[in-house]
Structure 1
Amino acid sequence: MNASESAQALFEAESLPFPPMPAALAAALKPQAAGWFATRAMASSPYDIDHFLAEVEARPGPEDYALVGFDGHGSNSWAAHFYLVADGIALFIQLPWGGAYVDPVPARAEIAALFDWAEALQSRLQAAQAAGRIPQGLRLQVAASRFGRAGWRWLDAAKEAAATPWNPSAGMKAALLKELDDVIAGRKLLNA
């Protein structure tokens, strides 16, 4: 079994869907530590989501990568992780999974729903890019976490990330899909 198949088997063993990512990144996954995989060496464990958010903010064009798996500490600070940094997107999903007090049935449903949404988000972003509606250097940054930052914003590689405000996480899933539908249809113009 190769590393990509091992990563998929890890999610199957938990009765969770595998996170949606480009096939080339899925094929490049390698074990990093017990319970998680990534396409490149990582300086931090996935539980430290702020490290990964800061990396994208400090380096607006980091190399494409994916990170998937389960990580945490203690008896209840455990999460399922899916981080994807690729052309036009920096998506960070971190949801409770595996802790002593986490009910697996609703947690599994929440993770599956968010992975479905992440797939729809990526599809719409690709459609907007194909239509030439995303200016060069613009990247959608999304954080969906119960342990750290949550929200979304468009980052411009030519501008200071700290100056770009975050949109709130409340209603984020519907708001982002609508925004991308409006961008695709030309009802909203994104500026770099």
Structure 2
Amino acid sequence: MNLSANEAERHAGASSAMTLFADEGLPFPPVPALLLASMKQQGAAWFATRPVASTPYDFHHFLDEVETQPELADYAVVGFDGHGTNSWAVHFYLVGTGIALFVKLPWGGAYMDPEPARAHIAEIFDWAAALLSRLQRAESAGHIPPGLRLQVAASQFDHAGWRWLGTGQDAAQAPWNPPSGMRAALLQELDDVIAGRKVLTAQRS
């Protein structure tokens, strides 16, 4: 198969991003195939599907952006970023029609024990894949109202929690569910939505 120059560049970005994670002995996060094909390197060790105005370590920039720009086009950011000797993390940010998922976990710090960190990252990425699969099922069944997005902050450095946020809703007034037990709670939440045990409504201000 002969690839055009643009297609080759796109494939190269995805391949380089996946190689970066493999070299660290880490699984690659569950980036949807369409977004993965658009990956381009934007920093020394991180990739994104669109130009972004901040490095991934600035977690709150991405949270604030999706809250103030609800019509933001789908995108993904993956890779490693940080500063100093111990403030380093692996990042997986994914924004889509019904999801705004922000994962930031310790990786690469001088005082980090890599094996427990590696196991935890793999566990979180597996959970993220299960979450996205359930969300897709709920969307396909028409159970996610237009304009409603699941916002998830999974960070050991910054804010963490989850909530449903509607287009036009005042993010400052929308309460977060606590991070304690978040993984199980979110999977159960989506199982209930898929089964019709919970009906979601788009909240607007």
Question: Shorter-chain TM-score category?
Answer: over 0.9
Indicate the larger mover: 155-164 or 38-47: 155-164
2:161 counterpart of 1:151? yes
2:24 counterpart of 1:24? no
Give 1:49 shift. Answer: 0.4
Superposed, which structure 2 residues align to 1:24-173 within 5 Å?
A: 24-173=34-183
Q: Distance in 1 between matches of 2:91 and 2:43?
A: 13
Moved >3 Å (runs of 4+): none
Contact map agreement 1:133 1:190 (CA 8 A) in 2: yes
Q: Distance in 1 between matches of 2:168 and 2:75?
A: 21
Deviations 1:42-86 (A, max 9, x none): 100000000000001101121100000000000000000000001
Give 1:158 shift. Answer: 2.6
Q: Distance in 1 between matches of 2:42 and 2:118?
A: 24
RMSD of aligned Cα (Å): 0.8
Q: Distance in 2 between matches of 1:190 and 1:51?
A: 28
Q: Which position in structure 1 is the counterpart of 2:13? A: 3
TM-score, scaled relative to structure 2: 0.92
2:181 counterpart of 1:181? no
Instruction: State the secondary structure of the residue aligned to 1:32.
Output: strand
Supply the AA of the counterpart residue of 2:165. L
Q: Distance in 2 between matches of 1:87 and 1:110?
A: 27
Q: Distance in 2 between matches of 1:130 and 1:43?
A: 32
Supply the AA of the counterpart residue of 1:94. K
Supply the AA of the counterpart residue of 1:166. W
Q: Distance in 1 between matches of 2:169 and 2:37?
A: 33
Q: Distance in 2 between matches of 1:55 and 1:174?
A: 27
TM-score, scaled relative to structure 1: 0.99
Instruction: State the secondary structure of the residue aligned to 1:2.
Output: helix
Give 1:89 shift. Answer: 0.2
Deviations 1:99-157 (A, max 9, x none): 00111000000100000000000000000011111001000000000111100000100
Q: Distance in 1 between matches of 2:58 and 2:158?
A: 9
Unaligned 5+ segments in structure 1 are: none
Larger Rg: 2
Q: Distance in 1 between matches of 2:158 and 2:130?
A: 23
Supply the AA of the counterpart residue of 1:47. Y
Unaligned 5+ segments in structure 2 are: 1-10
Contact map agreement 1:57 1:162 (CA 8 A) in 2: no
Supply the AA of the counterpart residue of 2:147. G
Percent identical across equivalent pairs? 67
